[in-house]
Structure 1
Amino acid sequence: MWLWRTVGIIAFALGAIGLVLPVWPTTVFWIVAALAFAKSNPNWAEWIYRQPGIGPPIKTFLETGALAREAKIAALSGMAIAAGLIVGFGHDNRWLMAGGLSLIGIGALYVITRKPIRPE
């Protein structure tokens, strides 16, 4: 129980950084936080779900695995920016470029293959 709560707190704090740092992801960390809090303190997971703008998409993703078109675009745009930064600053380091771009590619493939949210 305490391990899940610790994971949730750390993931939530890392996600909160993304609220002020544009290239830092918020949603992925808050998804991990919501999953961890669901196991340790469901009230905290519900608090995340109630946050305007970001909470409902997180809840939908955890319940259905679906992503809204706008969420996919935002995620892929962030990945493109990160890839550009890796190429720009890491062009002299093949391992950094190979590792970073591979992880981004895996993440992009995951996002692209998520089913869309069906309009109601």
Structure 2
Amino acid sequence: MLKLLTLSLWRTVACITLLLGVIGVVVPGLPTVPFLLLSAWSAGKGWPRLEIWLLAHPSFGPPLKRWREQGAVPRKAKYLATVMMTMSALLLLLFAAPLWLKLVLPAFLCAVAIWLWRRPEA
């Protein structure tokens, strides 16, 4: 029973993140690749056929393979992510939010940007 529940959980995560990734293809500001990475990872835990399909997909496969093989992030994606994180931090400062959030979130986003720019490029 526990094995079936675990399998169902991994498949649910894979489906939801795949759906979010596909939506991200057409909705500006919603990332695609991070959701596809999570989908492929969770599919590998509970749905190997979906993982194989994602890796073989002509559009989704190449960035997933680059990430798995080299941990690589294309420069264009780095720029886009940095711009989006900067805009998010600036918007947070303009709107009403708790002070702790206005301090912690920009610091966290800065740490993510540093990590991101240290990744190899495709």
TM-score (norm 1): 0.78
CA distance 1:24–1:7, change in 2 (3 Å): same
The aligned residue for residue 26 of structure 2 is 20
The aligned residue for residue 36 of structure 2 is 30
CA distance 1:73–1:105, change in 2 (3 Å): same
Displacement over 6 Å in runs of 4+: none
Asked if structure 2 preserves the Cα contact closer than 8 Å seen for 1:15 and 1:25, the reply is yes
CA distance in 2, matches of 1:26, 1:88: 27
Larger Rg: 2
The aligned residue for residue 115 of structure 1 is 120
Task: Return the match for 2:74 from 51, 68, 74.
Answer: 68
Matched ranges for 1:1-120 at <5 A? 1-49=7-55, 50-52=57-59, 54-90=60-96, 92-117=97-122
Q: CA deviation at 1:110?
A: 1.7
SS at the partner of 2:95? helix
Any gaps of 5 or more consecutive residues in structure 2? 1-6
RMSD, matched Cα: 2.1
Percent identity, aligned pairs only, is 33
TM-score (norm 2): 0.77
Q: CA deviation at 1:60?
A: 0.9
Q: Count matched residues.
A: 115
From the two aligned structures, give the one with the greater helix fraction.
Answer: 2
CA distance in 1, matches of 2:116, 2:32: 15
Q: CA deviation at 1:51?
A: 4.5
Any gaps of 5 or more consecutive residues in structure 1? none
CA distance 1:61–1:87, change in 2 (3 Å): same
CA distance in 2, matches of 1:55, 1:80: 29
Q: CA deviation at 1:33?
A: 0.8
